[in-house]
A = this chain, B = another copy of it.
Amino acid sequence: MKSSIVLFFLLLLSNSLIARNKSTINSIEEIAIESNVLAEKRTVIVYLPEGYDKSSESYPVLYLTDGEVHTKHSSGTVDYLSKFRLIPEMIVVGIINTDRNSDLRPTLTRDKKLEIDEGADRFLTFITDEVIQTIDKGYRTLGYKVLSGTSYGGLFAVNAFITKPNVFDAIIAISPSLYWDDQVMLHKAQGLFSAGKAKGTLFLSIAEEQPIMTNAFNSFVSVLEKNPTDNVNWMTKKISDETHNTAVLLGQYYGLKSIFNGWSIPEQAPQNLKQLLSRYRKMSHQLKSQIVLPEDRANGYGQWLMHLNRVDEALELFKWNTKTYPSSTIAYETLGLAEEKTGHLHDAKNSFEIALNISRKNNPSEVARFELNLKRINDAIGKDQEAIIP
């Protein structure tokens, strides 16, 4: 029986997202950037969160290399994880390749036959000075930025962690080609840590791969282990049953969950206002921006607390909702119903009156419902008074 109830409230909490009045199709935009840094025209694909057009919120941004391959599944994963509130909603920006070998590899190869030039630093400058600038100008972004790359793109992402530690708040490097150029990243990383300049969050994953990949990966992890610092938060994930080519979707999934570890609220227990506000303070700290507890979430936890007969905590949440979302008829109606149920009839009357006034201004279709609520309350108050008079 107990398990059924927990299940019911889980469904209630997750169903609340279904009720949101949002478009079911995300906006996807293709942007051309005339790059001075690269001296060529480049294309980026931008996936906006569901409801972007109808909201005024700002969002963190996930930047991806190999955008033509990895933007779709990554934006699907962001959509999923954010719907279930394991990570925040994000704008996803995929940078389309022209010559990935040249763009993503950080140093001149020792193998002259391949005839490639160093390009990663230039490509990183393109991202920091032109792509990010374009996105920040064109969309509502928060300062929080993630860079994610795979294979050579993972090498590139690690290079960004090392050479520009102040640009990205978190780096996701999936099956990074750290063997490149005699494991040049190891030496660069060692230098960074020795200089005390390492900073940020770094997620690294490796699948079941060739020794050339895993050896370099393990050596790099050793550098991280030998240089503990409060300024760097790093984690690794071994992805079993997948190869270098097939581990990217899972790498992105675990990477996003890892860098937003602590974002989700444990499902097993309801949360009261104090606990929720504490969590949202931590979220705000991570995103360097004030993240406000959403109305439907406060409402869901309030319902759960009501069900558990933790009435005072439930009322506290519902009241917080009316103060934080003062034009929400649902907030006042929910508060009113809880007050009615707990015998606070005059408070309930007051809440329904406010809901009625708001609905008259903003949403006439709700007026009849609140009038009914009020009539029921007034009748109940009348009966109470009759009961007292004799």
Contacts and interface: CB of A to CB of B under 8 A. Distances in A.
A102 interface: no
A100 B28 CA distance: 28
Contacts of A212: 3-4, 7
Interface stretch (A181-189, A244-252, A355-363): A244-252
Interface stretch (A74-82, A271-279, A313-321): A74-82
Contacts of A11: 151
A234 to B, nearest CB: 19
A283 interface: no
Contacts of A36: none
A45 to B, nearest CB: 6
Nearest to A244: B10
Interface size class of A (residues with CB under 8 A): 35 or more
Output the residue of A77, A96, A249 with the most chain B CB within 10 A. A249
A33 to B, nearest CB: 15
Interface stretch (A64-72, A134-142, A335-343): A64-72
A83 interface: yes
A308 interface: no
Nearest to A249: B80
A349 B211 CA distance: 42
Interface string A193-236: 00000000000000000111100000000000000000000000
Contact of A80 (B6, B72, B80, B151): B72
B18 A69 contact: yes
Contacts of A17: 69
Given A3-B211, A11-B151, A96-B24, A248 B73 contact: no
B213 A7 contact: yes
Contacts of A14: 245
A268 B52 CA distance: 44
Contact of A18 (B68, B94, B246): B68
A100 B11 CA distance: 12
A14 B4 CA distance: 47
A244 B3 CA distance: 12
A86 interface: yes
A79 B76 CA distance: 10
Interface string A4-43: 1011001100100110000011101010000000000001
A325 interface: no
Contacts of A243: 10, 267
A71 B4 contact: no
B6 A67 contact: no
A250 B242 CA distance: 14
Contacts of A18: 66, 68-69, 97, 100
7 contacts: A10-B245, A18-B100, A24-B43, A26-B72, A70-B80, A72-B76, A76-B77
